Amino acid sequence: MDTQQIKQRFGIIGNSTALNQALNVAVQVAPTDISVLITGESGTGKEVMPKVIHQLSARKHGAYIAVNCGAIPEGTIDSELFGHEKGSFTGAHDQRKGYFEVADKGTIFLDEVAELPLTTQVRLLRVLETGEFIRVGSSKPIKTDVRIIAATNENMPQAISTGKFREDLFYRLSTVPINLPPLRQRKDDIHLLFRKFAADFAEKYRMPPVKLSDSAVVMLSNYNWPGNIRQLKNVTEQISVVENARDIDGEILNHYLPDYAKTNLPVLANDQSSTSLNERDLLYKVLFDMRNDLTELKKLVIKVMKGDQQDLSTEDRSAIIEKLYKDISPSGNKLLEDSYSSVKEEQAPIVADFDNDFEEHIEVEESLSLEDREKELIQKALEKHRGKRKYAAQDLGISERTLYRKIKEYDLK
At 39-69, the pLDDT tens digits run 999 999 999 999 999 999 999 999 999 999 9
Q: Give CA–CA dist 19/15, Å, rounded.
A: 7
| CB within 8 Å of 304: residues ≥ 6 apart | none
Look at residue 248 and tell me whether its pLDDT is greater than 70: yes
In 3D space, the residue among 170, 151, 52, 76 whose CA is nearest the CA of residue 109 turns out to be: 151
Q: What are the chain's domains? A: 3-179 (3.40.50.300), 192-264 (1.10.8.60), 279-366 (no CATH), 370-410 (1.10.10)
Q: b/e for 100-128, b at 16 or more Cβ within 10 A?
A: bbebeebbbbbbbbbbbbeebbebbbebe
pLDDT value, residue 343:
43
Strand partners, 211: 247
Contact 125, 169 (CB under 8 A): yes
pLDDT value, residue 225:
94
pLDDT value, residue 262:
58
pLDDT value, residue 281:
59
More confident residue, 265 or 147: 147
Region of poorest pLDDT, from 208-217, 278-287, 374-383: 278-287
pTM above 0.85, yes or no: no
Region of poorest pLDDT, from 132-146, 184-198, 288-302: 288-302
Contact 35, 149 (CB under 8 A): yes
Contact 125, 166 (CB under 8 A): yes
Q: Give CA–CA dist 396/213, Å, rounded.
A: 39
Look at residue 286 and tell me whether its pLDDT is greater than 80: no
pLDDT value, residue 155:
93
At 20-45, the pLDDT tens digits run 999 999 999 999 999 999 999 999 99
Look at residue 360 and tell me whether its pLDDT is greater than 60: no
More confident residue, 309 or 307: 307
For the chain, give the mean pLDDT.
81
Burial class (CB in 10 A: 0-12, 13-18, 19+), 135: buried
